[in-house]
Amino acid sequence: MTRALFVVDVQNDFTEGGALGVAGGAHVAQAVTDHLRAHPDRYDLVVASRDWHSPDGDNGGHFSTAPDFVDSWPSHCVQGSPGAEYHPDLDTSAVDVHVLKGDGRPAYSLFDGVVEGGRPFGQVLAERGLDEVEVVGLATDHCVRASALDAVAAGLRVTVLTDLVAGVAPGPSEAALTELRAVGVTCAPSAEVVDGATGATA
């Protein structure tokens, strides 16, 4: 079994004080760091994604001065800005592959991104021969959800570590986890998953 960790969009603009800050975002950054340090041999591949939006234009309608917070949003994670950087509490030294997404267009899933050199992430993933992925990061009801769904579509066994994600709002976040469970994703706290009790759905 070859296992990866997907760290989704743990960026300054998605944590407290950012343009689209999520309550608990900074906690997730530190908790993911602690998880990686506690289990240094658990993953064959660690992937981290970032929104990386163009400073020019509205990124295909993704940015709006009158956002609906469904399909359009305030400006965030603009290339080269402090908001686009990883949160400082996320230790990226364990990251093997960095993915950038949303350059000039909407992009929620990590699978929408490219790696250094412009190669599609899906192409890189296929070369690694992964069987299983655990997903953490921000936000549960948006980019975590989209990334997990695409991982299922790619034929991977998928687990969302529920103590290592945070969402924009409780209702939509729980709805996202319910949707993921319905397509076969395991949703459980990291301690239970690491201990092998992956039947949990908390």
pLDDT at residue 166 greater than cutoff 90: yes
Whether 77 is catalytic is: no
Domain count, the chain: 1
Whether 143 is catalytic is: yes
CA distance 88 to 16: 12
Residue 80 belongs to domain spanning: 3-194
- What is the average pLDDT score of the chain? 94
Q: Is the residue at 178 inside a domain? A: yes
CA distance 142 to 139: 5
Q: Is the residue at 67 inside a domain? A: yes
- Could you tell me which residues come within 8 angstroms of residue 41 by beta carbon, excluding any fewer than 6 positions away? none
* Beta partners for residue 8, in sequence order: 49, 137
Instruction: Tell me the per-residue pLDDT of 54-101, one tens digit each, with 9 for 90 and over.
Output: 999 999 999 999 988 888 889 999 999 999 999 999 999 999 999 999
Instruction: Tell me the per-residue pLDDT of 96-117, one tens digit each, with 9 for 90 and over.
Output: 999 999 998 889 999 999 998 8
Q: Is the residue at 200 inside a domain? A: no
Q: Is the residue at 199 inside a domain? A: no
CA distance 95 to 46: 5
CA distance 124 to 129: 10
Q: Is the bond preceding residue 26 a cis peptide, omega within 30 degrees?
A: no
Q: Is the residue at 202 inside a domain? A: no
Considering 101, 112, 141, 187, which one is annotated as catalytic? Answer: 101
Whether 101 is catalytic is: yes
Considering 51, 143, 150, 187, which one is annotated as catalytic? Answer: 143
- Could you tell me which residues come within 8 angstroms of residue 116 by beta carbon, excluding any fewer than 6 positions away? 98
Beta strands (DSSP E) in the chain are 3-8, 45-51, 97-101, 132-138, 157-166, 186-188
CATH number at residue 178: 3.40.50.850
Q: Is the residue at 105 inside a domain? A: yes
Q: Is the residue at 123 inside a domain? A: yes
Q: Is the residue at 17 inside a domain? A: yes
